[in-house]
Amino acid sequence: MTDSIHVLDLEDDCWSQLEDYRLLLIKTIEPTRITPYLRQCRVLSSEDEEQIYNDPNLVIRRRKVGVLLDILQRTGTKGYVAFLESLEIDYPQLYQKITGKEPARVFSILVDEAGESGLTQYLMSEVTRLQKQVEEERRRHQEASKRIAILDDTVREQQVREKELRKQKERVQRLREERDRLWDEMRQLKDENYSLMHNITRLSEEKNGALMSNRDLQLNIEKLKHNLMNAESVSEIQRKRTITLKKGTIRKLQKENDHLAARLQEMEHTRQEPTTPDEQEMSRQVMEDYKQHAHIQYQELVNSLCTLRRELKEAEQMCSKYSEEKEVLELKNTMLRKDSRMYQDRMEDILKQMEQVIEERNKAMSTREEYHKEIAQNLQDKDQYRKQIRELGEKCDELQVQLLRTQGEVLSLQNQLRRQHCTYQASDFEDSSLASSFELRSQTSEEEGLTKAKNESQSKASEEHDVCKTDDGGLPQHKKADEDTVRCDDKMLKEELPYSCRPRANFYYRRKRAVRAKPAANVHAPCQLEHTSGSENSDTDGFG
């Protein structure tokens, strides 16, 4: 009774220690990793496993771990020891933190419950699981390498596209710079054209001003000539008029002098003749008659003279008038002739100027046409040269793009060849790994047969010892195959993975090598079991 109470107290103490770490256990443990070992130790039944995995209320992993701990707590010390051994196998750091001991991996509960065959079966299942994990890891590694190769191809393609885009951007930048340069040249030429047009307009205005001033000067000269001719004609008329007046006065004075001289002669003649009274009377009477008759004649003569003088005066007036009119008409005629001559000269000058202007215009038009033709030819040559330069630049860009594409294709072909080579090596490695797993299974089956026949006879034990020797003889071949496969994997790893990913991959391959080393140790187990005395179960006895 006291022993049972002591056992119950011991169980309560053990599980009370685990209760302190319950939250850590629930947070850390994965049920799928420890349930196979617990099932092999027979502390967990299939119903309990079904409850843990298929209960709809146990969807969360932490709840599953809590239910698993409750089920193990009902099994007592056996469940406690099996749980600690599972932690020792799968969670060594957690085991060391709970117990304060280093993991020893003695599998006492498994050996007590299932025997060495159960341990071997468990180890085989673990090896199979690890091989599956290795295969899965290898498959993931191959997929990752394929994805890396695809990503490398895409990266190279993107680099090629980036280079093409850079070339296109450089070409666009060159075109923009050329456009800006041509725009600046066009603006400069436009400014020069505006300045030339301004200068031409200013010169034409100056020329027009000079022509207008020249025309004004010519008009002033013509006016001065016209005034000079008018003055000459007026002076000529006045001169002629003064000459006629002078001649008329001279003629009139000569007539008066002649008349006075004739009267003086008559008076002198009458004074010189001797007279008698009768004669004087008669002469007086004759004289009176003569006087009367002379007076009458004189009156008639005077009247006729007056009429003649009047007619003469009128005739002279008419003559002078007509002469004046004639002179005026002659003057007008000369003026008109001079004006016509002046206008004729002016028209001739204008026609000469027009001819000169037409010649200058034709010359300017011809020079302008030649200049335009030369400019058009230069522009055509310039456009042709630019077109040739653009075509050569496009050809150069196309050749560079083709070069980049061919480089990308060469790199992609190299990657494809490398991937094919790696897949070929990986297939060889899988074949060697399948062969090694088949050898391990054959060795484990032989080990089970040897453990069953150990208690029958000593002769079979010697045969088992021979079997161990044969296994030792066959082991170097297996090691050699493992070394070849590991070397192949290392080579494939160095070829496919970059330098930054190699340490982790080396870790995986070291793990693979360690996993392959476990079955080799299991092969030697039958030879070592012959000389053991069951001291391996001392740890389990201590727990008991």
Q: What CATH number did the domain enclosing 49 receive?
A: 1.10.533.10
Integer distance in angstroms from the first to the last C-alpha of the chain? 18
For residue 226, with 0-12 CB atoms within 10 Å meaning exposed, 13-18 middle and 19 or more buried, which class applies? Answer: middle
Q: Measuring CA to CA, how many Å separate 69 from each of 7, 66, 228, 397?
A: 19, 5, 149, 73
Q: What is the pLDDT of residue 486?
A: 44
List the helix and strand counts (H, then E) for the chain: 13, 0
CA 345: distance to chain centroid?
73
Q: Please determine, for residue 64, whether its predicted confidence score (pLDDT) is greater than 80.
A: yes
Contact 404, 163 (CB under 8 A): yes
The fraction of the chain above a pLDDT of 90, given in percent, is 1
In a domain, 388, yes or no: no
Contact 56, 26 (CB under 8 A): no
The answer to whether the pTM exceeds 0.85 is no
How does 292-318 read in b/e, with b if 16+ C-beta sit within 10 Å? eeeeeeeeeeeeeeeeeeeeeeeeeee
pLDDT tens profile 455-510: 444 444 444 444 334 344 444 444 444 455 445 445 444 444 444 444 444 444 45
Q: What are phi and psi of 540, to 5 degrees?
A: -70, -35
Residue 477 has, within 13 A of its CA and on its CB side, a CA count of 10
Q: Could you give the CA distance from residue 231 to residue 120 in angstroms, rounded to a whole number?
A: 159
Least confident of 11-20, 102-111, 117-126, 380-389: 102-111
Q: Which residues of 401-434 are buried (b: 16+ CB within 10 A; e: fewer)?
A: beebeeebeebeeebeeebeebeebbeebeeebe
Check residue 535 and report its DSSP letter. Answer: G
37 assigned to some structural domain? yes
Question: Residue 65 domain-assigned?
Answer: yes
pLDDT at 424 over 70: no
Residue type, 164: E
Q: Is residue 448 a contact partner of residue 117, using CB atoms and an 8 Å limit?
A: yes
Q: Amino acid letter at 294?
A: A
Query: How far apart, in whole angstroms, are the C-alpha atoms of residue 421 and residue 408?
Result: 20
- Chain position carrying tokens 């002046």: 342
Report if residue 511 sits inside a domain.
no
Report the alpha-carbon distance of residue 452 to residue 447 in Å, rounded: 9
Is residue 383's pLDDT more than 60? yes
**What is residue 114's predicted lDDT score, i.e. its pLDDT?**
55
Degrees to nearest 5, angle at CA 459 with 454 and 461: 35
Q: How far lies 241's CA from each of 102, 235, 314, in Å?
A: 167, 10, 17
For 273-313, the pLDDT digits (tens) are: 555 566 667 667 766 776 677 677 767 777 777 787 777 77
Q: How confident is the model at residue 26 (pLDDT cuts 50, 70, 90)?
A: confident
Residues contacting residue 346 through CB under 8 Å, at least 6 positions apart: 218, 222
**Highest-pLDDT range among 10-24, 190-204, 397-411:** 190-204
Is residue 244 in a domain? no
Which of 124-133, 143-152, 169-178, 353-362 bottoms out in mean pLDDT, i.e. has the lowest? 124-133
Q: Is the predicted pLDDT of residue 247 greater than 70, yes or no?
A: yes
Question: Is 146 within a domain?
Answer: no
**Which residue do the tokens 């890891």 mark?**
137
Exposed/middle/buried for residue 106 (C-beta within 10 Å: 0-12, 13-18, 19+): middle
Number of domains in the chain: 1
Most confident of 101-115, 218-232, 470-484: 218-232
Q: Which domain holds residue 46?
A: 1-105
Nearest Cα to Cα of residue 450 among 438, 436, 462, 435: 462
How many Cβ atoms are within 10 Å of 48's Cβ, its own excluded? 19
What is the pLDDT at residue 332? 79
What 8-state DSSP symbol labels residue 498?
-
Which among 540, 523, 544, 498 is positioned nearest to 145, based on CA atoms? Answer: 498
Q: How does pLDDT run across 196-217, given as a tens digit for each residue?
A: 888 998 888 888 888 888 888 8
Q: Is 133 a member of any domain?
A: no
Mean per-residue pLDDT of the chain? 72
pLDDT at 537: 39
pLDDT value for 180? 92
Model pLDDT, residue 113: 56
- Is the distance from CB of 53 to CB of 69 less than 8 angstroms? no
pLDDT at 433: 52
